[in-house]
Amino acid sequence: MSDSSLTQVIQRIASQTIDASKLSDYIVGTVMKTSPLEVKISDQLTIDADFIDVCENVTERKIEITIQAKTESVEDHTHPLSPGSTGEAGGHEHDIKLTKKKITIHNALKVGDKVAMLRRARGQKFLIIDKVVSDE
C-alpha cells in the first residue's frame, strides 16, 4: 500500500469518526410556533420544546436597572410654580437618578424569528442562544 493511499484511508476513517460522534454544531432555525415552541431547522426537520432550551436573552423578562444621568440643557421652557402660573426656567439641566427600578425587556421569540442554536454533542437537544438579524 502506498503512502498516499494509506493517508487517504486514515483521512476517511478520521472523517467517519468525527461524523459519527455528532460534535456540537451551530444551526440557524426559524420559529414556527411559540407555545409550545417549535423551530424548523431544515425542510425535513422541525423540533419541539422537548428538545429545546432557550437562553434568557430570547425571553420576555423583568430586570432591575439603575440610571444616573443629567438631561440635556433646553432653552426657552417653563416650570409650573403654582396652579395656573409658570416661571421662566432658562437653560439648565436636571439630575435623573433611578435606583433599582424594574423594567420589562420584550424580546420573546415570535413566529418567523431566525434563531442561532447550538446542538449538544452527541445529543438531540438544542440551545437557542440568540436571534439572528442576518444569516449571511
Of the listed ranges 5-14, 48-57, 94-103, 126-135, the one predicted with least confidence = 5-14
Contact 122/21 with Cβ under 8 angstroms?
Answer: yes
What pLDDT score was predicted for residue 118? Answer: 92
- Provide the greatest CA pair distance for the chain: 101
Burial of 118 (0-12, 13-18, 19+ CB in 10 A): middle
What pLDDT score was predicted for residue 120? Answer: 82
Average pLDDT across the chain, whole number? 84
The residue ranking higher by pLDDT, 46 or 84, is 46
Contact 123/22 with Cβ under 8 angstroms?
Answer: yes
Provide the Cα torsion 42, 109, 54, 23; round to 10°: 20
What pLDDT score was predicted for residue 36? Answer: 94
Average pLDDT over residues 115-135: 86
Q: Is the pTM of this model over 0.85?
A: no
